[in-house]
Amino acid sequence: MDTSHRDNGIRKRSTNACQRCRKQKIKCSGLQPCNTCHKRKLTCVFDDRDQKVLVTRGFIDDLQRRIASLERDEDDLSSLHSYVEQERARPDDGGDNLTVAEARLGQNLEGADLTNPLSTGPSTFSTAATGRTFYLGTSSNWSFARRILSMTHEHLYNSPLPTDSLLFEGSTYDLGWDGSRTTVYQEAPIVPTLDYSIYLINAVKFHAGQLFHLFDEGSFMGGLYAFYEDPQQQMATDGLWYIHYLVIVALGKALVVHRNRDSRPPGCEFFIRALQLLPDTTHLCRDSIIGAEILCCIALYLQSLDYRNSAQNFIGQAVRLALAEGMHTDMPVQHLGEALVQRCRKIWWTIYVLDRQMTSLMGLPQSINDNQIHHQLPSFPGSPQKVVALSMQIRMCQIIAEINSTVYGADGRLNRKFLLRTKAALASTTDLANDLQRSFDLQLDKSTISGVSRMSAHLHLLYHQCIVLATRPLLLCFLTMRFQSADTCIETLNSSANVLRLLQVCIDSAQQQLNILTCLYEQSLLDSFLPFDLEATFVSSVVLLLAPAIDSVLLESRRPWLQKSYVILEDMISRGNLIADFRKSELEQLSGLLYQLTPDRPVQIDDPTRKGQLVEIPSPLPPAYRVPELPNLNDGLTTAEIMAVAESIDTGDVDWVAHAVVENQIW
Band (pLDDT 50/70/90 cuts) for residue 167 is low
Rounded to 5 degrees, φ, ψ at 27 are -65, 135
Enumerate residues 6+ apart whose C-beta is below 8 A from 550: 475, 478, 479, 482, 489, 493
**Full-model pTM:** 0.74
Question: Which residues make Cβ contacts (< 8 Å) with residue 427, sequence separation at least 6?
Answer: 643, 646
**Which of 615, 201, 137, 72 is CA-nearest to residue 364?**
137
Q: Where does residue 337 fall: left (phi above 0), alpha (psi -120 to 50 degrees), or beta otherwise?
A: left
How far is it, in rounded angstroms, from Cα 396 to Cα 470? 12
Q: If you average pLDDT over each of 64-78, 307-321, 367-381, 436-450, which comes out highest?
A: 307-321
- CA diameter of the chain: 116
Please give the single-letter amino acid code of residue 101: A
Amino acid in position 190: I
Average pLDDT over residues 452-473: 91
Rounded to whole angstroms, the Cα distance separating 371 from 357 reads 19
Report in angstroms the alpha-carbon separations of 273 from 101, 278, 593.
63, 9, 44
Distance CA 24, CA 34 (A): 14
Q: What percent of the chain has pLDDT over 70?
A: 70
Is the distance from CB of 572 to CB of 172 less than 8 angstroms?
A: no
568, 541 in Cβ contact below 8 A? no
Intra-chain end-to-end CA distance of the chain, in Å: 80
358 bridge partner residues:
none
pLDDT of residue 198: 96
Query: What pLDDT, on the 0 to 100 scale, is given for residue 131?
Result: 64
Q: Which of these, 112, 6, 22, 44, lies nearest to 415 by C-alpha position?
A: 112
Sign for the pseudo-dihedral over CA of 494, 496, 497, 503: negative
What does the DSSP 8-state code read for residue 125?
E
pLDDT recorded at residue 656: 56
pLDDT tens digits along 647-667: 776 655 545 554 555 454 443
Mean pLDDT, the chain, rounded, equals 76
* CA atoms of 346 and 324, how far apart (whole Å): 16
Q: How confident is the model at residue 97 (pLDDT cuts 50, 70, 90)?
A: very low
Q: Which residues pair with residue 127 across a beta bridge? A: 133
> Distance between CA atoms of 498 and 302, rounded to whole angstroms?
41
With a CB cutoff of 8 Å and minimum separation 6, the contacts of 291 are 240, 284, 285, 321
How long a stretch of residues is the chain? 667
Calculate the CA dihedral of residues 65, 66, 67, 73 and round it to 10 degrees.
110
DSSP string spanning 515-560? HHHHHHHHTT---SSSHHHHHHHHHHHHHHHHHHHH-TTT-S--HH
Q: What are phi and psi of 135, to 5 degrees?
A: -80, 130
Q: Are 381 and 622 in contact (CB under 8 A)?
A: no
* Mean local confidence (pLDDT), 163-170: 67
| 307 close to 355: Cβ distance less than 8 angstroms | no
284-291: long-range contacts, CB 8 A cutoff, minimum separation 24: 284/240, 284/317, 284/321, 285/321, 285/324, 287/240, 288/321, 288/322, 288/324, 288/325, 289/325, 289/340, 289/343, 289/344, 289/347, 290/240, 290/241, 290/244, 291/240, 291/321
- Summarize pLDDT for 109-141 with one digit per residue, the tens: 233 233 455 544 555 666 666 666 666 666 677
Classify burial at 4, counting beta carbons within 10 Å of its beta carbon; exposed 0-12, middle 13-18, buried 19 or more. Answer: exposed
52, HSE (Cβ side, Cα atoms, 13 Å): 2
* Residue 443 CB neighbours (<10 A): 13
Q: How much is the pLDDT for 37?
A: 84
pLDDT at residue 438, as a whole number: 86
Q: Can you tell me the distance from the alpha carbon of 259 to that of 251, in angstroms, rounded to the nearest whole number?
A: 15
CA dist., res. 392 & res. 399, Å (int): 11
- Looking at per-residue pLDDT, the higher value among 417 and 377 belongs to 377
> How many other C-beta atoms lie within 10 A of the C-beta of residue 185?
12
Looking at the predicted structure, is the pLDDT value of residue 414 above 50?
no
Do 573 and 585 form a contact (C-beta atoms < 8 A)? Answer: no
**Judging by DSSP bridges, how do beta strands 602-604 and 133-135 pair with one another?**
unpaired
Interatomic CA distance for residues 83 and 89, integer angstroms: 10
Strands (DSSP E) found in 44-186: 125-127, 133-135
Reply yes or no on whether the pLDDT at 586 is more than 50.
Answer: yes
What percentage of the chain has pLDDT greater than the value 90? 31
Q: Which residues pair with 125 in a beta bridge?
A: 135
Output 92 or 428, whichever has higher pLDDT: 428
Position 485 scores a pLDDT of 77
Give the pLDDT of residue 18. Answer: 84
Contact between residue 507 and residue 554 where contact means Cβ atoms under 8 Å apart: yes
Q: What is the pLDDT of residue 435?
A: 86
- pLDDT tens sequence across 214-257: 999 999 999 999 999 988 888 878 789 999 999 999 999 999 98
Q: Which residue spans within 40-192 are E strands per DSSP?
A: 125-127, 133-135
pLDDT, position 5: 43
Helix, strand, coil tally for the chain in percent (to 5): 65, 0, 35
Residue 531 has pLDDT above 60, yes or no: yes
- Indicate whether 339 pLDDT > 60: yes
